[in-house]
Amino acid sequence: MTKKINELAISAKKALERADILFERGEEEAAGEYYEMVIHDGGESADAFFRLAVIKEDGDRKKAIKYYRKAIKINPKHSEATYGLARIYGRYGKLDKAAKYFRKAVKLNPQDSKSFCGLALTLSQKKRFKEAEENLAKARELSPDDPVTYRICAMVLENKGDLEEALEQYRKSDELENNKQVEKKIEDLIVKVEDEGS
């Protein structure tokens, strides 16, 4: 922790408020220092652990998992922490754990399309395409104009081997949100589709 924070004699509540403001501004490093202060002083804030997990996700996977689990232990109905834990398990190939936590996230917040998308992608990686498509249908119903839903749909179709339809879904995603990664994916998929046609 920085000297500046150590010199401040502030309550855990104030530290949490400051951390939340910094987090919302995108100042994650500074926010993380305040969240660390809260939890090291015995604070039992599920949100503090959740946000620390988000901050740690790219740099320290083990700590991120630990913090997501702690947030869920404090608040078993914390749907965002449950989704985050599922996502990180999926990202690192722990598909059974990812599916378990995506299912839990769907139950905790059945109006959250991203949980349905995550579950669909995970199921497609496990070659359970029928279930994956059922979850995608629910995600589309909840967020029909969400570019992420189209992108996940494309990834599921790619896993299934339907490259032409995947390409169409990536294009729909790109129409809704200009995204360099999607544009690159479209270019790569065009080459694959053309290669299959030759």
- With a CB cutoff of 8 Å and minimum separation 6, the contacts of 193 are 163, 164, 167
Rounded Cα distance between 193 and 198, Å, is: 9
Q: CA of 167: how far to CAs of 20, 121, 139, 144, 178, in Å?
A: 39, 16, 19, 18, 15
Answer yes or no: same fold for 1-72 and 77-128: yes
Amino acid (one-letter) located at 187: E
Give the pTM. 0.82
More confident residue, 121 or 176: 121
* HEC secondary structure over 18-65: HHHHHHHHCCHHHHHHHHHHHHHCCCCCHHHHHHHHHHHCCCCHHHHH
**What's the whole-number average pLDDT of the chain?**
88
Q: Which fold has domain 77-128?
A: 1.25.40
Q: Average pLDDT, stretch 141-170?
A: 94
Distance in angstroms (rounded) separating the CA atoms of residues 158 and 156: 5
Q: Where are the domains of the chain?
A: 1-72, 77-128, 145-198
Q: How do residues 68-104 score in pLDDT, each as one tens digit?
A: 999 999 999 999 999 999 999 999 999 999 999 999 9
From residue 109, give the alpha-carbon distance in Å to each of 65, 102, 116. Answer: 20, 10, 10
Phi then psi dihedrals of residue 77, to 5 deg = -100, 15
Specify the higher pLDDT residue, 178 or 170: 170
Per-residue pLDDT reduced to its tens digit, 98-145 = 999 999 999 999 999 999 999 999 999 999 999 999 999 999 999 999
CATH fold of 1-72 reads 1.25.40
H or E stretch covering 120: helix 113-125
